[in-house]
Amino acid sequence: MVTRRFGGRRVVVTGAARGIGARIAERFAAEGADVVVLDLLRDPGAAHAAAIGARFVEADLTDVASARAAMTEAIETLGGIDVLVNNAGILRFGSVMETTPEQWDEVLAVNSRSMLLTTQVAAQAMIEAGDGGAIVNLASMAGKAGGAGQVAYAASKSAVIALTRVTALELGEHRIRANALCPGYVLTEMGAATRTQEQVDLWSSYSPLGRLGTPDDVAGLALFLASDDGAYLTGQAVNVTGGMIMH
Residues noted as catalytic: 153
CB of 10 to ligand NAD, least distance (A): 20
**Closer of 97 and 193 to ligand NAD (Cβ):** 193
Binding segment for ligand NAD among 26-34, 53-61, 99-107, 203-211 (CB under 6 A)?
53-61
- CA count, 13 A, side-chain hemisphere, 212: 14
Among 30, 47, 90, 127, binds ligand NAD (CB under 6 A): 90
- Which of these, 33, 36, 25, 24, lies nearest to 3 by C-alpha position? 33
Neighbours of 79 (CB within 10 A): 9
**Closer of 87 and 164 to ligand NAD (Cβ):** 87
Among 9, 10, 21, 122, binds ligand NAD (CB under 6 A): 21
| Residue 174: DSSP 8-state | G
Task: Confirm or reject binding of residue 221 to ligand NAD (CB under 6 A).
Answer: no
CB of 176 to ligand NAD, least distance (A): 21
Largest distance between two CA atoms of the chain: 51
Among 49, 62, 147, 163, binds ligand NAD (CB under 6 A): 62
Residues 115-174 that bind ligand NAD (CB under 6 A): 138, 140
Kind and range of the H or E element at 170? Answer: helix 151-171
CB of 1 to ligand NAD, least distance (A): 27
Binding segment for ligand NAD among 13-21, 97-105, 144-152, 198-206 (CB under 6 A)?
13-21
Binding segment for ligand NAD among 11-19, 72-80, 144-152, 199-207 (CB under 6 A)?
11-19
Identity (one letter) of the amino acid at 222? A
The order of strands in the sheet holding 133-138 is 55-58, 34-39, 10-14, 83-86, 133-138, 176-183, 237-240
User: In the stretch 25-44, what mask flags binding to ligand NAD with x, by CB under 6 A?
Assistant: --------------xxx---
Distance CA(91)–CA(189), nearest Å, equals 10
One-character DSSP codes across 7-51? TT-EEEEET-SSHHHHHHHHHHHHTT-EEEEEES-HHHHHHHHHH
Distance CA(244)–CA(191), nearest Å, equals 19
At 97, is the secondary structure helix, strand, or coil?
coil
Task: Confirm or reject binding of residue 17 to ligand NAD (CB under 6 A).
Answer: yes
Task: Confirm or reject binding of residue 18 to ligand NAD (CB under 6 A).
Answer: yes
Task: Confirm or reject binding of residue 88 to ligand NAD (CB under 6 A).
Answer: yes
**Which stretches of the chain bind ligand NAD, using CB under 6 A?**
15, 17-21, 39-41, 59-62, 87-90, 110, 138, 140, 183, 185-186, 188-190
